[in-house]
Structure 1
């Protein structure tokens, strides 16, 4: 039996697990990813990457590779409701990712199916030092005060190896066993609908009435049809198990190859259509949230922590945001820059946000498909950009902030503002590094000098940018006075703001960072709360 060490072990090598590995290695943290499946699924469980999520991938330098792997027809096509593909009057829907996106972000929505995205994530994570092992299963794990001992088994030959890791990240999905073994319960509405995903190849045109489409919602049969690359399509249809029959058993017995072909011909209104069935997989639209996102040295991310219906395309994006929030905190603790209490803020920040986003997904499910299941929330859905750009890490995180608010509140994502630098226009978000970033006003030279000294003493990365007199739009967006400053966390969220220059800027920054990184006792310098998010605002009177 081989014993080896890795700082972080990630169980689950799909979308969120690979994103976690990518964000960790970008922070310089070596990690190991294990995935029990021998290869990636051909099923398309995720495809729409929100602009905010693209910002996260942009920050680690892989935006261009993701767009190159994306599908052009889905990027440009519309979304419609039809009876079937022969419907002469499709009802075209307004796309939620259109509108204000160019004003809010330096990037934009991208369609990149999961089977195309995951190889990009894996390639870049490996290049940066991640070990990724497919066909490898977690057999057992045991945590203690110093770390976690995990036993892995190679499913191909049965050999075992033992890994000693400081932290374990459970990205093993909705049916993963780690959450159950930890005794963490879930709450929520449970299973809402049963779906069958049918992947097939056929010579079809992705057009309705001469216009390209990326998704159509069908009345015949009740479901959706999505074109993929190279003649591959996905038909998803709802079904109800027969009385007393398990959903899985019903699906296997009911959706034969002939039945799937009949459904495809009904959806396309072409009774003689030739199609080749590639794969068939049942899945459930459900709503669950884990009671805890952390148990000791084990953290839940993605579907292991929360499941929401696909309406709004929030689920996968939210899981990626989990990974981004957790990665920089693990890196700070592992490097010694932060105290271990910093990791408590992962659940404190992400859980309220996840619960609010789940409500938004449920609101869309109810309004789009007229679902009348007991317990469904009531109300009007919030704009998608507000959901993805406007969540906040501070008390009151159950509400969203308009991402166009000026100045952007402490605890929210740093705003995108174009700046002129050396004759080129760059986004403020592109100036953020992998560490902390300080933006100071035109008279803020003392802030930048203090930031350099504090960073050197603390052994952390700390970038500083001083605005010019011509950067008034940026100053307004960030709330930066001529002699003030704003501190941005490694994940791009505003952590702290000062509207004046204190007598001792170095001591002020040192105290702020000590409290943000949990290297000092808690005090009223931070936002007040049961377990406060690491955000605070400083005014002239403090």
Structure 2
């Protein structure tokens, strides 16, 4: 490592962010929304050209709505009237498909949200957008933010955490080594994270036995590409009947990505395949190459899907943290990777801001891993569940050594087999639809307060969000009687919702917050019967990341109000607080 030539102490309260991908840029913007400065280092000169993620899910869109970016983000992505169907095919040479998941457009999804006002729906529909477009857009926003300083082309070499500081050694574009000293640092620097390695944090998991050859390209040969109709994804079988590859429509105009899947034990050398050959092979499925007109090859690479979660998400002094792929990696099926990273950024961002401003204690930072790691472990495992759905296709097509191509014959047996496969996929359609995974993650940590009078926790299922204000959960979204969204009434920081006209201790919490300098917005919704029923208690305290911190029907005395706020803001830790 180049010997450090100078040291620069950053202004108090400035957070160092390592990595300028979606998670690092989002974290910078979340910190800025709370008035906190950040200095972000990214080793590359510009944002990515790689098509990593292509769906910002409903929960992430809710969070971006919270900081005022949802609508502008939508303007960068796929048009709202376009559906996003997922097809299962034996190859584009064939006239029919084996299966189809019908996923709604943004407009259709929004109509469902408006019509099904029962708390089960998100505040925002999902949004298709390529990571290459996403990063470029968000970087431009951060470039204009006076609280964010971006240094692209600056390579972080190491991070050292001490009890009162973090020293980040960086190589600037001229090759000079500089040590930046800050109170806190966050590694958002991907699966090979320098921050994680510098802190000596081990990772549990690794690659699965599959190789993938990626080709990102431009083509306007829609007559050939839309042989089965317009699509978002198509999964293709290979000659053995197994999952051979996939194509993703990135922008519904001219940009596409194919993935060719190869077993690790295969003797085939993917480096000898041209990018064009890879594309034709994927699209041909089990029937040989399917040529199309390719206008431009953008990028190509070979990669291995990984299932892994880092054992610890912070250094021993809780001053250096990990977020995004540095903390967890998953198979892309389900689209959980970047979306988990977005939630990491919001969780850690408001907690860092609270500690820096003095409105919260260090218990907030200690809660970060406790809250986010169980979510990541479950979601990472669930991405494997989705992948296995496609892997199970081979058992149906090639059972007892049968020829997989028989599925396309015009015979009674083939029609029966196609019907079986259709039902197989309809019964296993959770990929991009499992809202229990995406929206119903429930945090458990010392800063989540459960009243002694609480009933049994609501049932959880991966397939659906269960409306509840169980402490630690995301509260239900509904439209109020005036047509406004309940989430839009929440404050920028803490929110106290009261569902009673009679005194039930709300004034005690408001006064305690004022005394403790905890920014709290108080709202009375006693006249909203649907909200009152779904929110389940007279008093519901919502955190800055739109999760329930505490709820109760009443507070009887001032001491209890202080105990609630001291606990949820990380100043003390206790198991429960009496009403």
Same fold (TM over 0.5): yes
1:278 is aligned to 2:298:
yes
Query: 2: CA distance between counterparts of 1:311 and 1:408?
Result: 29
| 1:36-435 aligned within 5 A | 36-72=43-79, 75-95=82-102, 103=116, 104-128=121-145, 129-154=147-172, 156-188=173-205, 190-205=207-222, 208=226, 211-219=229-237, 222-229=244-251, 230-240=253-263, 250-251=269-270, 253-257=271-275, 259-260=277-278, 262-263=280-281, 266=284, 270-271=290-291, 273-295=293-315, 296=317, 297-370=319-392, 384-394=434-444, 404-420=465-481, 424-435=482-493
Counterpart contact for 1:97–1:109, Cα < 8 Å: no
1:508 aligned onto 2:560: yes
> Which of 446, 450, 462 is the equivalent residue of 2:508?
450
Q: Which residue of 2 aligns with 1:532?
A: none
- Tell me whether 229-238 or 306-315 shows the greater mean CA deviation: 229-238
- Find the partner of 1:5 among 6, 10, 14: 10
CA contact (8 A) 1:192 1:286 kept: no
User: Where does residue 477 of structure 1 map in the other structure?
Assistant: 534
C-alpha offsets along residues 117-155 of structure 1, whole Å, 9 cap, x if unaligned? 11232233344411111111112222211111112112x
In the alignment, the residues of structure 2 paired with residue 458 and residue 371 of structure 1 have an alpha-carbon distance, to the nearest angstrom, of: 59
Query: Which one is further off, 23-32 or 226-235?
Result: 226-235
Q: CA deviation at 1:77?
A: 3.2
- CA gap of 1:193–1:235, structure 2 versus 1, over 3 A, is same
* TM-score with structure 1 setting the length: 0.85
Task: Please report how far the alpha carbon of residue 433 of structure 1 lies from its aligned counterpart in structure 2 after TM superposition.
Answer: 2.2
Could you tell me how far apart the structure 2 residues matched to 1:201 and 1:402 are? Answer: 35
Shift of 1:454: 2.5
1:446 CA drift (Å) = 6.2
Cα distance in 2 for partners of 1:265, 1:519 equals 57
Across the aligned residues of Structure 1 and Structure 2, the Cα RMSD in angstroms comes to: 3.0
* Deviation of 1:451 (Å): 4.1
Identify if the C-alpha distance between structure 1 residues 237 and 65 changes in structure 2 by more than 3 Å, giving closer, same or farther.
Answer: same
Q: Offset at 1:35? A: 0.8
1:490 alignment partner in structure 2: 544
Task: State the Cα distance separating 1:361 from its structure 2 match.
Answer: 1.0
- Measured in 1, the distance between the counterparts of 2:218 and 2:227 equals 22
Is the contact between residue 106 and residue 427 of structure 1 (CA under 8 Å) also seen in structure 2? yes
Relative to structure 1, the CA distance from residue 321 to residue 76 in structure 2 (aligned partners, 3 Å threshold; closer, same or farther) is same
Write the distance in 1 (CA, Å) between the matches of 2:257 and 2:137.
22
Tell me the secondary structure at the aligned position of residue 425 of structure 1: coil
**Does residue 524 of structure 1 match 2:575?**
yes
Q: Confirm or deny: 8 A CA contact 1:73 1:213 kept in the other structure.
A: no
Structure 2 CA distance, aligned partners of 1:403 and 1:241?
A: 35
**Cα displacement (A) at 1:240:** 4.2
Indicate how the Cα distance of structure 1 residues 244 and 143 shifts in structure 2: closer, same or farther if over 3 A, else same.
farther
| Bigger Cα displacement from structure 2, 315-324 vs 390-399 | 390-399
- Matched residue SS, 1:299: strand
Stretch deviating more after TM superposition (436-445 or 262-271):
262-271
Partners of 1:161 and 1:333 in 2: CA distance: 27
> d(CA) in 2 for partners of 1:32 and 1:157?
19
The answer to whether the Cα contact below 8 Å between 1:74 and 1:227 also exists between their aligned partners in 2 is: no
Maintained 8 Å contact 2:204/2:308: yes
